[in-house]
Chain A
Amino acid sequence: MSKVTDDSLRPHLTALIDGELQPLEAIALKQRMRQSPELTAECQELERLKVAVHLAGTRDPAPEVLKRSLEAMCHRHFEAQQKKQARWTTLWVPLGLAASAAVGLLVAFAGADTEGPRGTPPQLATMVAPTVVPPADPSELLPRLAGFHRESESPLALSDLKNRGALLAIERLPDTFITPEGKKPQLVQASWMGCSEREIGATLAVLRADRVALPPIIEAALETTGVFVDIIDGVHVRLSVSGDKLFVLLSTDPGPNQSPI
């Protein structure tokens, strides 16, 4: 390095050949170099040195065996991660789903024991499969209800219908609850509290329409007119459907010359 070269410029020369000077700095230094052959020579020398270091450093290629070894290591790493992920998926996801289902069932059953905030009937979660109840024998349903009306059968005889959820209610009604207007018995009052046994003249049964089976002729009549009337064992039977409810009104047959209550 020439003694005339300002020492403070040397680091700038280094930065210049590395392209790390700001544009204005580079212009100023190049102007200075044009006036100083020593500075120009030193800059060229640094450039040659840079090239020499680069050529020396990149002369020997990296060993291929190392590349293969590194590739294998990377592949093993990602394969292991993949297996870990698969283990997590196959073990924890089903467990998580099972736990969620269990919690869901618990919540559903817990909710079934208590009524809702406004006295709404308890609802089972939709996850719970509906109970399959075999429908009552169509050939015996109405004769049994008629027997109950005639008091020839104990109320306990209908317990199987209640247990199946087919029979929702069955009550004996006083005569005053029924009016034979238009020759069709109709329910005229909603309550019969305080009525005595002696006043009983009719029986009303409320059944779940989807849990009872009726003879085809009755099914057809209900479908077309919504009402079916018949006399079974001397009992006048009137069936009507509303929504999923089947109403059966039973009264003593008034005889061929009398209109049914």
Chain B
Amino acid sequence: MAWFGLRKQRDAEREFMERVFVHWDAMHRFALRLTASEAEANDLVQDAMAKALQHFDRVRPDTNYRAWVFTIVRNAFVSNVRKTGRESLLEDADLLAADPEPEVGLALEALGGNRFKEGFEDEVLLALQQLPESQRTAVVLCDIEGLDYEGIAHVLDCPVGTVRSRIHHARKRLKAALAGYARTRGYRDVESHG
């Protein structure tokens, strides 16, 4: 009996490591985009992993584990934000309605230059950080983590159509933000120069 129990525990540990733990770095990336703080991201991942451990034996075998861990990370983030009275970090309905008109023709092909690339990546991350949380989550999960719309809908607990809309609005905002950056660095504006 004891032997059986031991084997069962070892199987559970192996299964957890193969299905959940492998996403630890993705969880960290996502947490970093949510919190914008390395220390907070680390705490958030620890918290989320503990929750995943706690609930792992109740997860259905056909679960999309990657989407599941992102859901845990986001729920933990939302919970922490509410506990600490920082709700302003969460959804802002006004932001969703008031998309800025993007400046057309951003010269993203300029990514070829390394110096520009590094600075540009920082700018992209900064622009991401300016997005409302639900849009940021949608675009991060789509573009950085490669989740499909259905997985993102699961994480955000919303319909797939809403995900499509959020990603569209997020990219519109990103374009607007990054166009300004490119222009200030002297890179050409496609429409104005081309």
For B2, the chain A residues whose CB sits under 8 A away are: 85-86, 89-90
Q: Which residues of B contact A61 (CB under 8 A)?
A: 25
- Are B121's CB and A56's CB within 8 A? yes
> Which one of B1, B122, B171 lies within 8 Å of A14 (CB-CB)?
B171
Convert B53-77 into 0s and 1s, putting 1 for each residue whose CB lies closer than 8 angstroms to a CB of A: 1000000000000000000000000
Q: Does B89 touch A at the CB level, under 8 Å?
A: no
A62 touches B5 (CB 8 A): no
Inter-chain contact B12/A78, CB cutoff 8 Å = yes
**What are the residues of chain B within 8 A of A69 when measuring CB–CB?**
46
Residues on B with C-beta less than 8 A from A73 are 46, 49-50, 53
Q: Give chain B nearest CB distance to A93 CB in angstroms.
A: 6
A57 to B171, CA, bound (A): 15
Q: Is the interface of B mostly helix, strand, loop or mixed?
A: helix
A 178-211 contacts with B by CB, 8 A = none
Query: Is B53 a contact of A45 with CB atoms below 8 Å?
Result: no
The answer to whether A74 touches B164 (Cβ under 8 A) is: no
CB distance from A78 to the nearest CB of B (A): 4
Are B21 and A70 in contact (CB-based, < 8 A)?
A: yes
Bound together, the chains give a CA A75 to CA B14 distance in angstroms of: 10
Contacting pair B5 A89 (CB below 8 A): yes
Flag B99-131 by CB within 8 Å of A: 1 or 0 each.
000101110110100000100111011001000
Report B-chain residues with C-beta under 8 Å of the C-beta of A50.
143, 171
Q: Are B1 and A89 in contact (CB under 8 A)?
A: yes
Q: Which of A11, A48, A71, A93 contacts B165 (CB 8 A)?
A: A11
15 chain-A/chain-B pairs, Cβ below 8 angstroms: A2-B104, A18-B149, A48-B111, A56-B120, A56-B122, A57-B125, A57-B143, A62-B25, A71-B21, A78-B12, A81-B12, A82-B6, A82-B9, A85-B6, A86-B6
Q: Contacts of A59 on B, CB cut-off 8 Å? A: 121
Q: Which residue of B lies closest to A14 (CB)?
A: B168
Q: Among A20, A48, A53, which residue has the most Cβ atoms of chain B within 10 A? A: A53
Cβ of B155: which chain A residues have Cβ within 8 Å of it?
none
Which A residues are CB-close (under 8 A) to B111?
Answer: 48, 51-52, 55
Kindly identify which residue among B29, B53, B139, B190 contacts A74, using a CB–CB cutoff of 8 Å: B53
Bound-state Cα–Cα, A41 to B149, Å: 24
